Chain A
Amino acid sequence: MKILVCITHVPDTTSKISFSDNNTKLNSAGVQFIIGPYDDYALARAVELKEASGGTVTVLNVGEADTEPTIRKALAIGADDAIRINAFPTDSYFVAQQIAAVAKEGNYDLILMGRESIDFNGGMVHGMVAEMLGLPSVSPVMKLDIDGGKATLSREIEGGKETLELNLPFVAGCQEPIAEWKIPNMRGIMSARTKKLEVREPAQAETKTKLDNYELPAPKGEVKMIDKDNVDELVRLLKNEAKVI
């Protein structure tokens, strides 16, 4: 089985976000970049599937050269090879076109990614890629089992989950608990250095949105502390001051 795992290169979940260049660029000073946590789940499941029944896992990232350490980490976790599309991921539509172009050429049985990136939280690239390829798409996927050409998976719905069946190939947006995150071991890290990381120039593609600028939320006011023996005061404040109950 040939699996393609698409990963994002995003600020660590603990990062403080700020902007530069007149609020048009992320200020990356001091920011640690990681594989998107949802993508990391997708990668972990892909590696498990490969270990169980053979095949290959290729990771794909649309990004400039600074994403390579993140891609190497995915190789250390257990992907066999990697492709980097050498372009800034301008918007979801642009990224989806790049992924679709790679997927068309590679004939993958399964295309996995996170259910959303944690920088732009769009949650749309899997659907776009699937539509471009004429394949089914499922998201958010919490469980994925493959038996021959058939997959059984569980998708989270509001208030519960549903079990689905479909034939390969398809595109899935993944989330926990599809697999446990994998931490690369020493052997993985050593072998990642020599695994193939192919850099391709982007396919001709359009964007559908244009960034004006970024903004930070207004700072939060002071917290009002209430004595634990005076919960009536909290009720009064929620009623009369905050007016939320």
Chain B
Amino acid sequence: MSVLVFIESADGAIKKSSLEAIAYGAAMNQGDVTALFLGQIDQAELEKAGNFGAAKVLHVNDERLNNGIIQAYSSVLAQAIEKTGARFVVLAKSALGDPVAARVAIKINGSFVSNVTGLPDTNGGFKVTRSIYTGKAFANVEMTSDVKIIGIRKNAVELNESGSSATIETFDAQLSDADFGVQIKNIEKQEGDVLLPEADIVVSGGRGLKGPENWGMIEDLAKTLGAATGCSKPVSDMGWRPHHEHVGQTGVKVSPTLYIAVGISGAIQHLAGVNSSKVIVVINKDEDAPFFKAADYGIVGDAFEVVPKLNEALRAAK
């Protein structure tokens, strides 16, 4: 038996969520863990997969795969499953991983469960817990197919480093023209920023910040903490912040260790995207803001006063 882990990179490094997927694969205790990487990358970076539990990395060193193309990626992943004979496939929830895994599940006649929050229960059947109703509940489901694809949510396992390094094997996957039927014409992407779904700490701003010109203090606070920045829906609707920062029911669902909400009222649709955060801090000038009910720590006060002070205190404490 073996486990195959689909991994992705950002800014030339394996994403933290993918490292978690490798660690999850190892912790499943279902045989050797092989990671699969598509596109060009520094070999030394791939070797790091070993540190988190992968014995081997299959590398499809093909420049056409440097950007995620759903169909091409699913063809390769299906071929890698066949090659390794893996019975379990693990990947981190992402804008690319989920649609890829969905196609692969059909190709290999397997099952796919996403948003999995912890290790499987293998006592009689194979059961996983997944987050549903946008974090308002969980479902315990049994996966009944032969090959099982598990999409994990952030923080589903702890990262432990073993100090080992993985061996790298080049994998020549077969790709057809149809795999590249979708053509990427242009990519607009912020380089070097902490990605919101990946972030351990998120600093988010709402309509209470009054305008895009006031985001400097949010960015400063995020920088001090090594955090990603997020926002509420009206903020992205009004174009104050880019859409990919929109957190909530209809935006990105985050599960960081720390979520700091500034000038956000805490509407249920916003809470739905953040309620699996480990610790929530709310800064709001209205003591009756509903967000306080979902918070661990709260400060009633004017963001324009509190945020710079907090930033200073954090910097001093470093």
Contact = CB atoms under 8 A, between A and B. Distances in A.
Are these two chains actual partners, yes or no?
A: yes
A238 B295 CA distance: 13
B306 A232 contact: no
Contacts of A235: 310, 313-314, 317
Contacts of A19: 137
A131 B109 CA distance: 11
B294 A13 contact: no
A210 B310 contact: no
Contact of B102 (A119, A125, A160): A125
B94 to A, nearest CB: 7
Nearest to A120: B132
Which of B141, B145, B294 has most A Cβ within 10 Å?
A: B141
24 contacts: A13-B134, A93-B105, A121-B253, A157-B68, A158-B195, A161-B189, A161-B244, A164-B184, A166-B182, A167-B181, A209-B113, A210-B142, A211-B139, A211-B140, A212-B127, A214-B138, A215-B129, A215-B140, A223-B292, A228-B300, A231-B306, A232-B313, A234-B310, A235-B314
B281 A166 contact: no
Interface residues of B, number: 93
A183 B243 CA distance: 23
B243 A215 contact: no
Given A214-B137, A217-B137, A228-B301, A160 B188 contact: yes
A156 B250 contact: no
Interface string B283-318: 000000000111111111110011001100110010
A231 to B, nearest CB: 5
A92 B115 CA distance: 14
Interface string B255-276: 0011000000000110010010
Interface string A78-105: 0000000000000011001000000000
Nearest to B8: A158
A112 interface: no
B71 interface: yes
Interface in A184-243: 207-217, 220-221, 223-228, 231-232, 234-239, 242
B278 interface: yes
Given A156-B95, A212-B141, A245-B225, A127 B100 contact: yes
A212 B295 contact: no
Which of B112, B195, B201, B300 has most A Cβ within 10 Å?
A: B112
B227 to A, nearest CB: 10
A224 B95 contact: no
Interface stretch (A1-9, A55-63, A65-73, A132-140): A132-140
A226 to B, nearest CB: 5
A interface SS class: mixed
Given A158-B197, A164-B182, A239-B317, A244 B187 contact: no
Contacts of A120: 132, 139
Interface string B171-199: 00000000001111111111001011110
Contacts of A93: 105, 111
B115 A127 contact: no
Contacts of A162: 67, 184-189
Contact of B279 (A11, A167, A216, A238): A238
Interface string B60-85: 00000001101100100000000000
B183 A165 contact: yes
B207 interface: no
A176 interface: yes
B172 to A, nearest CB: 23
Contact of B189 (A119, A160, A166, A213): A160
B110 interface: yes
Contacts of B279: 238, 242, 244
A37 B200 CA distance: 28
Interface residues of A, number: 79
Which of A130, A159, A214, A216 has most B Cβ within 10 Å?
A: A159
A202 to B, nearest CB: 18
Nearest to A216: B137
Contacts of A227: 299
Given A159-B10, A217-B136, A224-B297, 4 more contacts: A92-B112, A121-B253, A162-B184, A226-B298
Given A118-B249, A137-B70, A164 B99 contact: no
Contacts of B189: 157, 159-162
A242 B296 contact: yes
Given A17-B136, A132-B106, A235-B317, A226 B67 contact: no
Given A220-B294, A223-B298, A245 B102 contact: no
B299 A226 contact: yes
Contact of B243 (A136, A165, A176): A176
B11 to A, nearest CB: 9
Nearest to A208: B111
